[in-house]
Chains A and B, each alone.
Chain A
Amino acid sequence: MQRTLTARDAFRRKTLWTALVVAAAAFILFPVIWMIGMMVKPTDIMFARPTEWLFVPTLEHFNYVFEQKFHHYLLTSVLLGLISTLLVVIIGTPAAYSFARFEMRGKDDLFLFVLASRMAPPVCLVIPYYLIFARIDLLDTFIGLTLAYMTFNLSFYIWVLRSFCRDLPAELEDAARLEGWSRVQIFRRIVLPLLRNGIVATSVLCFIFAWNEFLFAFMLGGKAVKTLPVAIPTLITTQGVRWGEMAVVGMVALAPVLIAVFFLQRHIVRGLTMGAVKG
């Protein structure tokens, strides 16, 4: 017997589906929700058995975090991420475009070289960086870390944006050239507007890489210039691990990533799928 799909079936199916999605989300989000709880949980009941679900929220962890000047580290992380990403965009966009468009001798070798700096394990690169920076007095400076971040993000940025550039039909630029526009005008009027989604998507990823980076920040900075990921382990003290404070800082560290993804989701999805559909 053939069964037709009734409205009732459709409703059931939808409900089941929603329940599954909620369950999956809860599973994935549980650690985050637990962390939010830890932020305001008094230290003495932090690991009480059985778990105490009801308690008077406390701001003690927040106070400690501010006393330890974590807002400075936050600012360092934000500035380092923004400035290094901005520089990467400024330098990397014309570079990616050139790699995609212009023929020159040794282009492929040069491109491989750009990529290689990204493929090597960071721990291999950090030692020469340390030695070089020590020699030229860039250790533990903001400029030094910015430069280090730029190098590894630049290769990634150029690599990704080059494929966006390749997806731009060259005939658009040919048409503009025939009309009499100069190379620079074409880059501004035609290329940049069409690359916007790609630039936004790629630079958000660069910012997140910089934001999450630990090894370089730890080895090349650490005292005067301390980023959030480097500061978090200092909460493991001789008196024990300060879990509540860790939760507070952890949430703060997570926030920009969530915000960026949430607001730029449209750009990232459109950016990463651009070129899949022509027209």
Chain B
Amino acid sequence: MTDHNGLILNELSKTFGDNQALNGIDLDVAPGEVVAVTGPSGAGKSTLCKCIAGLERPDSGSVFLGGREIAGDLPGGRGVAFLFESYALYPHKTVFENAASPLRVPGRSSSLSGAELADRIGRELDKLAIGHLADRLPSELSGGQKQRAALARALVQDNAAITMLDEPISHLDAKLRHRLRGEIKRELMARDAPAIWVTPDGLEALSVGDRVAVLIGGKIAQFGTPREIWENPASVEVARLIGDPPMNLLSARLQDRDGTVTAELDDGMHLILPPDSVERLVAASGKQSLQDGAVTIGVKPRDIRIIRLEDVGVMTSEVVSLEPFGKHSLVTLSLGKSFVRVKARDDMGVRPGERVGLRFTGPVTFFKAKTGSRIVTGWEEQGGETERRAVPAL
């Protein structure tokens, strides 16, 4: 069991009526660590935060914060700095008053004088580029400005026992989002308290989290470093959340023909699996034979290359659409009944309707078709190719 003075959740569960919002959540956030919680909407991200904050009472499980079980503490006694997804700005108070509210609670240890308080809030508002809006009411702000006002209110609480930000930068324009992502992260890391950053955006989670928890259907689908989650998604669901565009997922059936294992795609095309991939697959699946094993094959859009059809023995597909982004192009191709998206550095000037070949150039992840859980991530060179490369960490 994890042992530190940060946040530790054990077997946390919460049900609303028939809906199991949280199902046995184990999670820990060390002091000074930022854990990003990501997942599709309705996965229980906000409920998780509210259970930690004490706004919702978990049905079972325990919450430790600062080395102490806090289940019995009132929300106000937990020292939680919380940014609500809905902002929850007090409509009758100015931006300044809103941000000052947590520092003005009588009896709180933060013994800031009036001038110190004004200075602290002024700095935070300036950092979030809303210093000039201090005297405005929330109704006079745009969505992004409201979000930053709420963010200021959460971040001025330097002494918070934990900081939880529920979608802190989702309504900002791209430029500001990129800048603030780093600044907020640094501010949170400088504190001697754990922090949770909730975002539905998988890539944002990877970029801000020291570790990332992927929450799906009220369960932790995967909890690990951004690299682990990026390279070895634990399941098809996790793979679908991460990446822009996310991993390509193709159904396939494994066939063992006299020791040569192939993966048949749904339109009859097949990939020949190199022996080491087969060994790994066999070892990971715990079966003697791979015959008729239904799997889902995952390949990242950047790990597919478009090649000319002149090369023999390649998978052929038809270009459906082309989105040139400058440094790369996003090409959508039809492969049998499914679509494959390719992030191509060189789109070779393909046009919709054109037939091209595909080659997998990076790691391929195999998932169980039935449960969606990952079997193994291995290297796969496409049909006929013998070229081998280093296998990324398994």
Interface 0/1 of A187-203, CB less than 8 Å to B: 00010011000000000
Complex contacts, A181 vs chain B, CB 8 Å: 76, 105
**Is A86 an interface residue, CB under 8 A from the partner?**
no
Q: Are B55 and A178 in contact (CB under 8 A)?
A: yes
User: Once bound together, how far apart are the Cα atoms of A62 and B76, in whole Å?
Assistant: 63
Q: A197 CB to closest chain B CB, in angstroms?
A: 11
Question: Min CB distance, A166 to chain B, in Å?
Answer: 16
Write out the residue numbers on chain B whose beta carbons fall within 8 Å of the beta carbon of A175: 82, 84, 88, 90, 153
Judge whether B101 and A179 touch: CB under 8 Å.
Answer: yes
Q: How far is the CA of A175 from the CA of B105 in the complex (A)?
A: 12
**Pick the contact of B92 from A177, A179, A194 — CB < 8 Å?**
A194
Residue B86 interfacial (CB < 8 Å)? yes
Residue with the highest number of chain A CB atoms closer than 10 Å, among B76, B80, B84, B105:
B76
Report if A182 contacts B (CB, 8 A).
Answer: yes
Known: A174-B84, A279-B139. A179 touches B90 (CB 8 A): no
B246 at the interface (CB under 8 A from A): no
A169 touches B55 (CB 8 A): no
Beta-carbon contact of B88 and A179 below 8 Å: no
Do residues A169 and B88 form an inter-chain contact, with CB atoms below 8 A? Answer: yes
Q: How many A-B residue pairs have CB under 8 A?
A: 52
| Bound complex: CA A172 to CA B153 (Å) | 13
**Is the pair B86, A169 in contact by a Cβ cutoff of 8 Å?**
yes
C-alpha gap A181/B75 in the complex (Å): 10
Report Cα–Cα, A182/B88, bound state, in Å.
17
Determine the residue in chain B with the shortest Cβ distance to A171.
B88
Tell which of B53, B90, B102 touches A180, judged by Cβ atoms closer than 8 Å. Answer: B102
Q: Bound state CA distance, A179 and B55, in angstroms?
A: 12
B76 touching A174, Cβ below 8 Å: no
Beyond A193-B92, A194-B91, is A179–B86 a contact (Cβ under 8 Å)? no
Kindly provide the distance from the CB of B61 to the nearest chain A CB, expressed in whole angstroms. 20
A4 to B153, CA, bound (A): 54
Give the size category of B's interface with A: 20 to 34
Is A219 positioned at the interface, with any CB of B under 8 Å from its CB? no
For B76, give its contact among A169, A177, A190, A194 (CB under 8 Å).
A177
Q: Which B residues lie within 8 Å of A176 (CB)?
A: 90, 101
Kindly state whether residue B132 has any CB partner on chain A within 8 Å.
no
Which B residues lie within 8 Å of A177 (CB)?
55, 74-76
B86 touches A180 (CB 8 A): no
In whole Å, how far is B344's beta carbon from the nearest beta carbon of chain A? Answer: 44
Task: Please name all residues of chain B whose beta carbon is closer than 8 Å to the beta carbon of A174 when the two chains form the complex.
Answer: 53, 55, 75, 84, 88
Chain A residues with Cβ below 8 Å from B90 are 172, 175-176, 190
Report the bound CA distance from A259 to B91 in whole Å: 30
Q: Which residues of B contact A172 (CB under 8 A)?
A: 88, 90-91
Contact B105 A171 (CB under 8 A): no
CA A177 – CA B78 in complex, angstroms? 10
Max chain B C-beta neighbours (<10 A), residue from A178, A179, A193: A178
CB-based contact B105/A179 at 8 Å? yes
> Which parts of B68-102 form the interface with A (CB within 8 Å)?
74-78, 80-82, 84, 86, 88, 90-92, 101-102
Contact at B76–A182, with CB atoms within 8 Å?
yes
**Distance of A193 Cα from B153 Cα, bound (Å):** 20
Whether, in the assembled complex, B108 has its beta carbon less than 8 Å from a beta carbon of chain A, the answer is yes
Closest Cβ–Cβ distance, residue A216 to chain B (whole Å): 38
A180 CA / B75 CA spacing, docked (Å):
8
| A residues less than 8 Å from B82 (CB atoms) | 175, 178
CB distance from B51 to the nearest CB of A (A): 13
Measured CB to CB, the closest approach of chain B to A164, in angstroms, equals 14
Partner of A179, one of B74, B102, B139: B102
Which residues of chain A are near B92, meaning CB under 8 Å?
193-194
CB–CB B75/A171 < 8 A: no
- Would B108 and A180 count as touching, CB distance under 8 A? yes
9 closest cross-chain pairs (CB), A and B: A179-B102, A180-B105, A171-B88, A175-B88, A180-B76, A193-B92, A177-B75, A174-B55, A178-B82
Q: List 24 A-B contacts (CB under 8 A).
A: A171-B86, A171-B88, A172-B88, A172-B91, A174-B55, A174-B88, A175-B88, A175-B90, A175-B153, A176-B90, A176-B101, A177-B75, A178-B55, A178-B76, A178-B81, A179-B102, A179-B105, A179-B157, A180-B76, A180-B105, A181-B105, A182-B76, A194-B91, A194-B92
Residues of A with Cβ closer than 8 Å to B?
169, 171-172, 174-182, 190, 193-194, 279
Besides A175-B84, A177-B74, A180-B102, 4 new A-B residue pairs in contact (Cβ under 8 A), listed by A number: A171-B88, A174-B88, A177-B75, A178-B78
